[in-house]
Chains A and B, each alone.
Chain A
């Protein structure tokens, strides 16, 4: 069974304090690993797709990396507007369905 585990459940940072969120996964044949951002009361917003180990993608202060067992979302010099829940999901090859983790709640204080 495909599984996704995200850690930590919650993370509190000071503005400018860089850190990383972790997404560990088990899947039989990875087609893609997806990162989403979710603000309170809103739907998840797509951030990145990673397809193979060693791949990296960046967007503003966020960088996502992928190994064969886990993905990291690195947040460099975060700002309060980066506060949100970050969700990770995996897709198995040959399947359309995504399996989501329960997310990491990030709070960035000024």
Chain B
């Protein structure tokens, strides 16, 4: 049982390049989330997917797109990377009912030069 996995672990991009961050969970959770974490800012929600086939914007969605590929997988795409997107990105998932605890992946450290 791997929980939430993310690829890649590290990435360096040049301004204007694009990339997709991958996330998968094996806990049969319905909901999945993408956060970014910056020093002094805490975790901020970029996008989330309450269930397969739906996605919604979070607090900081500009410059990002997401795809809920199936129940297990939720990807985050940067179409044209900017230095302001240098951050650590975390994917999380949660179940239903009272089990709203979110479980996080190990993160992707992205640097945009």
Contacts and interface: CB of A to CB of B under 8 A. Distances in A.
Q: How large is the interface on B (under 10, 10 to 19, 20 to 34, 35 or more residues)?
A: 20 to 34
B82 interface: no
Contacts of B103: 46
Given A102-B41, A103-B42, 18 more contacts: A34-B101, A34-B102, A36-B104, A42-B106, A43-B105, A43-B106, A43-B107, A44-B90, A46-B101, A46-B103, A49-B100, A89-B43, A96-B31, A96-B50, A97-B45, A97-B58, A100-B42, A102-B40
Decide if the interface of chain A is mainly helix, strand, loop or mixed: strand
B107 A31 contact: no
Interface of B: 4, 31, 40-45, 48, 50, 58, 90, 92, 94, 100-107
Nearest to A36: B104
Q: Would you call the interface of chain B mostly helix, strand, loop, or mixed?
A: strand
B35 to A, nearest CB: 8
A7 B48 CA distance: 28
A98 B40 contact: no
Interface residues of A, number: 21
Contacts of B31: 96
Nearest to B105: A43
Given A96-B48, A102-B41, A43 B90 contact: yes
A102 to B, nearest CB: 4
